[in-house]
Structure 1
Amino acid sequence: MAVPQNKIELLKEIEITFTKLREDLKSIPIELTTQKTLEGHSKNTLMSVNNLVSYLIGWGELVLKWHHKKNKNKPVDFPETGYKWNELGKLAQKFYADYQELDFIALQDKLDTTVNELQTLIKSYDNNMLYEQSWYEKWTMGRMIQFNTSSPYKNARARIRKWKKENSLK
């Protein structure tokens, strides 16, 4: 699908990409989810499936945090307090650590909840707020949400599918 240009397309893109990702996650044997055999988010690193799901949760919750702060007229440290845009590998490590106590089932439940909250957030805005004005630097709110939801879901799905093929998993 092309880059979403409006609220309806954004919601549809998230629904499609997330549904496909969840189907891929369902077929992963739980005993393999903690093994660090997936290409990591930083160069020359490996991560587990649990780390990958943690990463998706982390970005989703970060988007929710940005909106919560902006809606209360509080300053937002993009991408996150203590991190710069050129330190996303370090931020990924933070996300892995934030959710390391959760098992694969709990991580999937948390991801489901986060995605539902993101969809509710999107539905609370009109198309003008999402796509007709800058929200962060040159980016619209809808584009910033898409950068941190459907795009990472597609990327995660590609990683998982490659990993499953390399490990002879269906």
Structure 2
Amino acid sequence: MSSIPQNKHELLAAIQTAYTKITIDYTSIPAEHTRTYGVDGNSKGTQITVCDTLAYLIGWEKLVLKWYKNKKEGKSVDFPEKGYKWNQLGLLAQHFYTQYQDASYPALLNEFEQVTAAIIELIESLSEQELYGTAWYKKYTLGKMVQYNTASPMKNMRTKIRKFKRTNGL
């Protein structure tokens, strides 16, 4: 498999693999460490918490589902999100952290599991043509947009989580 999925099978495998690996890391972190700053943030020089990383992943996966639903229903889609431009992703990440600041670690893990399952269910419901046969947003196929906002950030976040675990002796 290439590093970037080229078809439905590879996309499903990439998401399932990334999800499984990061979940193993998440479940090995004691809850009392999950609101401790020390994870490298998405904006240069910032620090976030383990819970913030989950909020980020959940936020992007929910956006993917929202984009798909709105586009399928013929509604306009605000990319990446209403009130944010692509050059404001740091602000969007901050929005996700704030949105989930009061959620417990188990609740975040549960929501991450549910929204990832919904992404997988969506992919399974679509044809190869729908995922990779045509441009969906600008020059990007739906499959690429899903991958860029699910498996890729999971892999990126897992690197940061593993560094946090090492730094904190977890």
For the aligned pair, the TM-score class normalised by the smaller chain equals over 0.9
Q: How many aligned positions are there?
A: 169
Q: Please list, as runs of the form range in 1=range in 2, the aligned pairs for 1:1-80 lying within 5 A after superposition.
A: 1=1, 2-80=3-81
Q: Deviations over 1:9-42 (max 9, x none)?
A: 1001100110000000010010010011111111
- AA partner of residue 73 (structure 2): K
User: Which runs of no fewer than 5 residues in structure 1 stay unpaired?
Assistant: none
Q: Please list, as runs of the form range in 1=range in 2, the aligned pairs for 1:17-166 lying within 5 A after superposition.
A: 17-166=18-167
| Partner secondary structure for residue 135 of structure 1 | strand
| TM-score relative to the length of structure 2 | 0.97
Q: Deviations over 1:22-75 (max 9, x none)?
A: 000010010010011111111221100000000000000000000110011001
User: Which runs of no fewer than 5 residues in structure 2 stay unpaired?
Assistant: none
- Post-superposition, which runs of at least 4 consecutive aligned residues in structure 1 deviate over 4 A? none
CA RMSD in angstroms comes to 0.8
- Partners of 1:161 and 1:44 lie apart in 2 by 18
| TM-score relative to the length of structure 1 | 0.97
| Partner secondary structure for residue 64 of structure 2 | helix
Q: Deviations over 1:68-87 (max 9, x none)?
A: 10011001010000000000
Q: Deviations over 1:121-147 (max 9, x none)?
A: 111110001001000000000000000
